[in-house]
Amino acid sequence: MMKRKSLLMAILSACLLYPVLSFAGGASGFINAGTFALVVQLGMGLTVIFLAWFVKNVLKIHIPKLVQAPLIWIAAFIVFRVILQPPLPFTILAVYMGIITIAIFLYSSIDEPSWQEFTAPIRTMLQEDTKNAKTSRYIVFAALPLLIGYGTYNKLMPKFEEPVELRTVHPAPPASINIHGKILNLQTEYNPFRGKGADGKEEAGAQYMGKNPFAADAPKYLQNVKEGGEIFFGTAGCMFCHGDNLDGRGMFAYAFNPIPANFADPGTIAQLQETFVLWRVAKGGPGVPRETFPWASAMPPWEKHLTQDEMWKVIMFEYWHTGFYPRTWD
C-alpha cells in the first residue's frame, strides 16, 4: 500500500513539475531565463510543501482530505495561471488542470482507507443526525438547487455580445505601389533621406539617437528628422491619433477602433521594413487587404495630403523618436 501511495505521489509531482520543466527548457536562453525560472519555481514548490508540513505537524490543524483536494487544485491553478510567465494558452492550461484533477482523484481513491477518509465528510452529512451534520446538510441541499437554478437561468438568458472579429495586424505588403504616378518596388526601395553610412550601407542612425535636432549645428540627418517631426506634429497632425509620444494614445485615440498603432511598442515599426511603413502611410486604411479591416481603419491615405518626400521624412522621424531601427534585409 505504501509503495502504491509513493508511486502516486511521484506521478503527481511529475505532473506538477513537467510543465515547469518543459516551460523552462523551452524558453529561449535555457541558461539564463529558464534556469532562473526553474529555480524560483522549485523554491516555491518546496515552500508549499514546507507550509503543508508546518500546518499539519506544528500548528496541528487537521485539514480533511475532502478540503485538501480542492486546495491542491487551486494551488496548482494559481501556479499555472498566475505564476508561470508568459501566460499559458487556455488549451494547455486545460490539459494541465485535467491531469491534476485526474491525479488528485487517483491519489484519493488509491486504496479503500484513503477513499473512506476522503468521502467521510460526505457520508457524515448524508447519514448522521448530529447538529453539525444536519446544518451542513441543510446548507448543501439548499445551495445546490439554487446554484444550479441560477446557472440554468444564466445559460438560457439571451446575451448579445459584440461579435468576435479577428484582425490581422501585420498584413503581407504588395510587391509594389503607385504613389502620385511613380511606381515603387517595395523590395528594393530605400529611404533617400537616410543617406549612406560609413560602411556604404543605408545609414541606420545610431549616432543620432537622442541628439538635439534643433541644435544650430545639427547634421543633415537630424535636420531631416526635425522636418519629419514638424510634419508629424504640424502639417500631417499624426499626433492626434498616434500621440505625442508615438504610443497610440493621442487625443482622438479613444474614439477609434482599431486603436492607432503604438510605435513605441517593439512589435510595430521596429519589426517592419521602411518600405512597409511607407506603404501603410501612403495608402492608409483603405489600402490594406481585407483581413486587416480597411473599412474600420481611421488611418488616412496620406498620398492625398503629403508628398512622397514628406512621407519618408516622417518615417525617419518615427524611428528616431522611438529609438528603433527598421528591419533590413540583412
Q: Report 84-113 residues binding other proteins (CB under 8 A).
A: none
15 alpha carbon, distance to own chain's centre: 25
Q: Quick one: which of 29, 89, 158, 200 contacts other proteins (CB under 8 A)?
A: 158
144 near other proteins (CB under 8 A): yes
239 near other proteins (CB under 8 A): yes
User: What values do phi and psi take at 84, rounded to 5?
Assistant: -70, 125
318 near other proteins (CB under 8 A): no
Q: Quick one: which of 162, 199, 217, 330 contacts other proteins (CB under 8 A)?
A: 162
User: What values do phi and psi take at 183, rounded to 5?
Assistant: -90, 130
Region binding other proteins by CB under 8 A among candidate stretches 21-29, 67-75, 200-208, 247-255: 247-255
Region binding other proteins by CB under 8 A among candidate stretches 10-18, 123-131, 169-177, 198-206: 123-131
Contact partners, residue 199, CB within 8 Å, separation at least 6: none
d(CA 132, CA 67): 17
Is residue 24 a contact partner of residue 38, using CB atoms and an 8 Å limit? yes
Residues 275-314 that bind other proteins (CB under 8 A): 284-286, 290, 293-296, 298-301, 303-307, 310
67 near other proteins (CB under 8 A): no
* Nearest residue (CB) to other proteins, 205 versus 243: 243
Least spacing, CB of residue 176 vs other proteins, in Å: 20
* Nearest residue (CB) to other proteins, 4 versus 170: 170
Region binding other proteins by CB under 8 A among candidate stretches 22-30, 37-45, 101-109, 138-146: 138-146
Cell of 323: 529609438
205 near other proteins (CB under 8 A): no
Q: How many residues bind other proteins (CB under 8 A)?
A: 75
Q: Quick one: which of 32, 235, 271, 328 contacts other proteins (CB under 8 A)?
A: 235
Q: Quick one: which of 112, 161, 217, 330 contacts other proteins (CB under 8 A)?
A: 161
Find out whether the peptide bond into 86 is cis, omega within 30 degrees of 0.
Answer: yes
* Nearest residue (CB) to other proteins, 295 versus 329: 295
Region binding other proteins by CB under 8 A among candidate stretches 26-34, 102-110, 225-233, 272-280: 225-233
197 near other proteins (CB under 8 A): no
Is residue 283 a contact partner of residue 266, using CB atoms and an 8 Å limit? no
Contact partners, residue 223, CB within 8 Å, separation at least 6: 213
157 near other proteins (CB under 8 A): yes
